[in-house]
Amino acid sequence: MQIFNNISLNNLRGDIFGGVTAAIVSLPLALAFGVASGAGPAAGLYGAVLVGLFAAMFGGTPTLISEPTGPMTVVMTAVLSTMIAQNPDNGVAMAFTVVMIAGVFQILLGTLKLGKYITLMPYSVISGFMSGIGVILIILQFAPFLGQPSPPGGVVGTLEQLPQLWENMRPIEAVLGLITLAILFFMPKKLGRFVPPPLVALVVGTIVSLVIFADADVRRIGEISLGLPSITVPTFSSEQITAMILDGIILGTLGCIDSLLTSVIADSLTRAEHKSDRELVGQGIGNLVSGLFGGLPGAGATMGTVVNIQSGARTALSGITRAVVLLVVVLGAAQLTESIPLAVLAGIALRVGINILDWSFVKRAHKVSWHAALIMYGVMLLTIFVDLIVAVGVGVFIANILTIQRLSELQRENVKAISDAGDDVPLTPEERKLLDKADGRVLLVYLSGPMIFGVAKAIAREHGTIDQYACIVLDLSDVPLIDTTICLAIENAIKGAVASQRKVFIVKPSKQAHATLERLGLFELIPGTQLCTTRTEALQRAVG
């Protein structure tokens, strides 16, 4: 059994170059997400190193770059602020315990081989909650972008304090934020192939603050106590244990979705195929270790992964190289980050939030389907103002109900009641002759395709017509799948026919449908001789 990811020396140059390039891209984002989360820049760097290293070693996508991401940072910000507010003494340790819980949950999902089910949700829901997370990340940057400390209350608190934030704005810091955004938006793409725009924005913004605004009071990262991280002992509170576990599940699920969607992108670029379950285990190990050492949670990052692949990476050695490069920064170059203005980091995080927004689908959703548009916007608003898990749960529920309704409407057309050979039915010449011979005394009920509970009403409609016929032929030969609700509807139809002293012949269904009907005891309602192998046989017995 293969323990480690696809680690090979066959592409040494490409993997090292890809890893170094990805590390350069990761550095400003790790700092920005660390500050944005409230855990500090060190937590962002530790998360980038630890999640990236262990996910690369034990994951299932060789070229995937894992690190703190915008969506994970948004959830971690809420978890951290909630835990500190409710338990000032142990809130930080409890928040990192939630990260460990998320890692354990991901390992469990991967071990149980549930990876392929994680992303089985409508795109309108995925688009809605990802766009909602992007909006949250943007709103949370308003205060630091304007040179103010972040107000309590998250999104709602920031929006309520927006007039005060604008009134107390520090113009110099706002200018630094605008310079950062200008570089990120307008830097030539050709230049961006050689130097990552976030790094250019970070360096230029810092230099401008030190040279042009040297005498101004600019809020900066300040001294970072880096080095080897200390262990964060898992801390639980009996009053908050349920909330901590729920937050861990939310964080873990979001990380799974984020990582597996990025793995699909990596597959399309490398023409390889990732291993979903192994990837979840790798992500889980990375988040477990990151939480244990006070690092932010992470997931597969699209930007880092694409840069890694485009730089020549093909194996997991690239992810390990990236982690080692960042570790060197953590251990020996911390003093270089002390002068970075917080407004510059806010600008970088704000740009990430804008990129998270699913602009392509937002612009076209109403053209594709009003149902999809309403679900997407509904999930987005719930994500922003209520809760991520509520948003996803409500979105998936409504989307599935609408899908089931549409499928049921289509499947109702596959329930046909036939009493004579003139009806539009797939009958052989012999079967048509038999129906003509029956002279309207035989009713053939033909079902085809998968039968789900939404079709039960269509079957129930035929109950009232059963008394008009001497024999009923129920053809299930073209039903590959049948659920319990349909079985019960068929049972009621057969009971009604038997009670009216009508004969019932059943054309034997497929193996799965037959097993379901047999477990329900449906065949006990009729003599065994009335279970037929073919429709022709059933019609012969009914007519004869």
CB atoms within 10 A of CB 453: 15
Nearest to 450 by CA among 424, 415, 416: 415
Q: Are 442 and 469 in contact (CB under 8 A)?
A: yes
CB atoms within 10 A of CB 409: 12
pLDDT of residue 5: 67
Burial 191-206 (b: 16+ CB within 10 A, else e): eeeeebbbbbbbebbb
Min mean pLDDT across 1-5, 218-222, 465-469, 492-496 is at: 1-5
pLDDT of residue 423: 53
DSSP string for 7-24 = --STTHHHHHHHHHHHHH
CB atoms within 10 A of CB 502: 17
What's the average model confidence in pLDDT over 415-424? 60
Domains, the chain, ranges and CATH?
A: 12-402 (no CATH), 414-543 (3.30.750.24)
What's the average model confidence in pLDDT over 32-37? 91
What's the average model confidence in pLDDT over 35-53? 92
Q: What whole-number distance in Å separates Cα of residue 221 and Cα of residue 228?
A: 19
pLDDT of residue 1: 40
pLDDT of residue 427: 78
Min mean pLDDT across 207-216, 402-411, 474-483 is at: 402-411
- Of the two residues 110 and 121, the one the predictor is more confident about is 110
pLDDT of residue 7: 75
Give the whole-number percent of the chain exceeding pLDDT 90.
35
Q: Which burial class, exposed, middle or buried, applies to 476 when counting CB atoms under 10 A from its CB (0-12, 13-18, 19+)?
A: buried
- Of the two residues 57 and 333, the one the predictor is more confident about is 57
- Residue 3 predicted with pLDDT over 60: no
What's the average model confidence in pLDDT over 410-438? 71
What's the average model confidence in pLDDT over 290-312? 91
Q: Give per-residue pLDDT as tens, 318-345.
A: 999 999 999 887 777 667 778 889 999 9
Arithmetic mean of pLDDT over the chain: 85
Q: Are 440 and 420 in contact (CB under 8 A)?
A: yes
CB atoms within 10 A of CB 304: 28
- Of the two residues 193 and 441, the one the predictor is more confident about is 441
- Residue 363 predicted with pLDDT over 60: yes
- Residue 462 predicted with pLDDT over 70: no
Q: Which of 39-53, 319-333, 498-512 has the highest mean pLDDT?
A: 39-53
What's the average model confidence in pLDDT over 40-69? 93
- Residue 463 predicted with pLDDT over 80: no
Q: What whole-number distance in Å separates Cα of residue 44 and Cα of residue 37?
A: 9
- Of the two residues 5 and 242, the one the predictor is more confident about is 242
Handedness of CA 234, 282, 52, 122 (dihedral sign): negative
What's the average model confidence in pLDDT over 230-245? 86
- Residue 376 predicted with pLDDT over 60: yes
CA torsion angle 207 212 217 222 (round to 10)? 10
- Phi then psi for residue 317, to 5 deg, are -60, -30
- Of the two residues 347 and 491, the one the predictor is more confident about is 347
Residue 221 DSSP symbol: -
- Of the two residues 95 and 265, the one the predictor is more confident about is 95
Q: Give per-residue pLDDT as tens, 123-177.
A: 888 888 888 988 999 999 999 999 998 888 788 899 999 999 999 999 999 999 9
How big is the chain, counted in residues?
Answer: 544
Residues 6+ apart with CB under 8 A from 393: none
Nearest to 108 by CA among 296, 249, 298, 247: 249
Residue 428 DSSP symbol: -
pLDDT of residue 528: 57
